[in-house]
Amino acid sequence: MACHEITYRVPYADTDQMGVVYYANYLTYFERGRTEMLRDAGLPYSELEKQGIFLPVIEAHCKYLAPARYDQLLTLQSWVEEIKGVRMIIGSKVIYAGTTLVSGSVTLACISADRKPVRAPEPLIAACQPFFL
């Protein structure tokens, strides 16, 4: 299948005084990418929450390769690596001008409104099919 892509221009607020993106903001970029992927799949977080399903991050991995800088137009890529039982793994990359700056993944847990682990619902699995790699 294919990964999901969006573009994002780095605002000054995401950088330090040298104009380099703060390391922690890459995890925010991962979140932005997966949020838009789910929205484009037809299941935005707000819809999942209405159905009583929440997807908190329980683990994150991030490999920093090169810095992004103020005003660069980045490509944020997201894809589904796995949906199994109560967990979902989303892969991510931040790319500038064809160069990967950061790669990694986050593991999400499917939990109900009463904070109990639940299997990933079938509509979520089906919606994510186009983004499995």
Catalytic residue list? 16
Nearest to 51 by CA among 102, 127, 130: 127
Two tokens, residue 16:
């330090």
Name the one residue in this structure whose structure tokens are 């299997």.
Answer: 119
